[in-house]
Amino acid sequence: MISREIVWFNKNCIIFCDGKCEKAFGINNRPTNQLSKNEDDYEYLSDGELNLAPIDPKTYEGGHAKPIDRVHNKWCCRECERSIIVENGKRFILPNFDNRVKNIK
């Protein structure tokens, strides 16, 4: 797990991720399986169903691309599907892509 203290919308927070950058497609690029005719009803494919993610998935946040050095940047905060931002002291569960993840709970 990788973590870094950040200021997020004027609050002291910590970004956490599982450190599996090689499997990070970005929330807007991770391959999905459509579940119904409703365009918002889909599930993200599991890590086991996918090859490694592209080094540059062609998504950028504030001029930042997916990091290649495992150091959190703006892309990790806003685009990475494997990270979570937590206020200091709050409990959390990291995103887990061992199985498919539905976007609608």
| pLDDT one-digit tens code per residue, 50-93 | 999 999 999 999 999 999 999 999 999 999 999 999 998 889 99
**pLDDT tens, 87-100?**
988 899 999 999 99
- Computed over every residue of the chain, the mean pLDDT equals 94
Band (36; pLDDT cuts 50, 70, 90): very high
Domain that holds residue 29: 2-102
How far is it, in rounded angstroms, from Cα 27 to Cα 29?
Answer: 6
Is residue 53 within 8 A of residue 38, CB to CB? The reply is no
Tally the C-alpha atoms within 13 A of residue 89's C-alpha that lie toward its C-beta. 2
Residue 105, pLDDT > 80, answer no
Length of the chain: 105
Copy the structure tokens of residue 92.
């959390």
Task: Give which of 93, 58, 103, 100 is closest to 79, Cα–Cα.
Answer: 58
